[in-house]
Amino acid sequence: MSRPYKHFALLLSLLAPLSAQSQAAASASSAGYVIADQVVDEFRLDAHIPGIAYGIVEGGRLVHVGTFGVQDTESGRPVTADTLFRIASMTKAFTALTILKLRDEKLLQLDSPASQHVPEMSTWKYPTDDSPQIRLRDLLNHTGGFVSDDPWGDRQTPLPEAEFTRLLRDGVSFTSVPETRYEYSNLGYAILGRIITNVSRKPYPETITRTLLQPLGMTSSGFVADDAPPAQRALGYRWEDDAWRAEPTLGPGAFGAMGGLQTNVHDYAKWVAFLLSAWPPRNGNDNGPVRRATVRELVQGSNFPRLRNRAARSGTPASRQSAAYGMGWQVAIDDDLGFTASHNGGYPGYGSHVLLLPDRGIGIFAFANRTYAGPSVAVWDAAIALNKVGLLGKDRELPIDAQLAAAYRWAGEMYEAGDVAVAREQLAMNFLLDRDAEGWSRDLAKLKAQVGECDTAASVKPTGIQSGEFTWPCTHGRIKGSLALSPTRPALIQEWQLEPIVP
């Protein structure tokens, strides 16, 4: 039942023959996507999921869609790229970005007490006398001291606003002192939804729609599931007593900010493409509904990092990740994929997952219509499979800054001369204090005795605007090196490291 989206390169074949190189690339892509399709569909079967849809975004567009199974078991309608799913906690990123946009508009401050915008919180009793008041930042980072509340929180989605006000007025229980540890809280994001309502002076769903959904062209997405045509909706099910049982549709309410959005592959791909467009930082137009710098702020992790295993069958102790929570995103460094931002969605009747590779401009996401289906395993396994066949590309290389390029040329001249004094005017004040010129001459002579003359024109790979790494091929081996400039104007060489590569 797969309905793959036609890759743009394949559409061009209708107009003109592909070059041999393009044909080879298209063939490799198709083969890789078949592998990913198989991973996702096998997960669906193993997890007893009626239907699943997933998409891959690259270069600002949707390059592949896989759909499997049915959107409801009674009619047997197949899942398509237009099928609407509840995406549960993947809604939190929309909430977080809207809070940041309101901050950009100077309507709130992240380090202000949340009670400034939710007066019902001003009478709360904190767990200790020295507890700090909960800030907006704590709600975004899940460091507000609330207990993890998935089973309870998910069922609060349709809670009427008046009842939520009463809950807030009565106060809440704490599991820890605010700002002392990370603990995932749907309640915290529901409070952020109330803040958005109070600050924008419009209901939360209206503000999200006006701020993000409409500008991005997400015209099929919304917070009232039953407003959508029944033929386009994936109905939610649970797997219980070896059978699928329909979950009742949760209506809109006060907890929609933590998990109430309904969307489809085409719409969500626009959201993913917009987020990824914030990388790399650059000059030029910044015309999105939210500034690029603000989008990047979402993945600045909180101060409570932890180790976790990769969420996949390919995960092993060797693939453990250093992870932290940002704002609506789990941020981690993965052995194979590098810098990642991801998030689960779990809900009565639905499960979802999204994985962004910001440095590669690629995003993969999946929606399923089974309670807590957890397609994170499918998404990460698909990503690992695609990475193995080279379809996830590599991290974007930084451009070489003119100052770094000039310093690198001087580094080559110092090696060739065997004397750092030839570039004395290019050296920062610490350079010769850390190792004098005579010592450098001895070090360079020793290196030349080992490896001989080197090709110092070999390219330098920037690791930042003012730092880089390089490898020089030499007569009798290679040298690995790095270069770092000072933070002064002009930038001068503060550090230069060279070492022979030992087989």
Please name which of 321, 330, 293, 343 lies closest in space to residue 100, comparing C-alpha atoms: 293
Q: What is the pLDDT of residues 132-144, one digit of tens each?
A: 999 999 999 999 9
- Mean pLDDT calculated for residue range 12-21: 33
* DSSP classification of residue 475: T
Report residue 311's pLDDT band, with 50, 70 and 90 as the boundaries: confident
Pairwise CA distance, residues 106 & 109, whole Å = 7
**Under a CB-based contact definition with an 8 Å cutoff, are residues 467 and 484 in contact?**
yes
**Under a CB-based contact definition with an 8 Å cutoff, are residues 233 and 136 in contact?**
no
339-342: Cβ within 8 A, 24+ apart:
339/395, 341/298, 341/299, 342/311, 342/376, 342/379
Is 402-500 the same fold as 8-86+223-388?
Answer: no
Read off the pTM: 0.89
At residue 63, the pLDDT reads 96
The CATH number that domain 8-86+223-388 falls under is 3.40.710.10
Domain ranges of the chain: 8-86+223-388, 96-200, 402-500
Structure tokens at 481: 């090196």
Which residues partner with 345 through β-bridges? Answer: 352
Whether the pLDDT of residue 21 is over 50: the answer is no
Weakest-pLDDT range from 154-163, 220-229, 297-306, 453-462: 297-306
Report the CATH architecture of 402-500.
Roll (3.10)
Please name which of 261, 123, 116 lies closest in space to residue 199, comparing C-alpha atoms: 116
Report residue 8's pLDDT band, with 50, 70 and 90 as the boundaries: very low
Q: What would you report as the CA-atom Rg of the chain, rounded to the nearest whole angstrom? A: 27
What is the number of residues in the chain? 503
Q: What is the pLDDT of residues 269-284, one digit of tens each?
A: 999 999 999 999 999 9
Structure tokens at 29: 């892509």
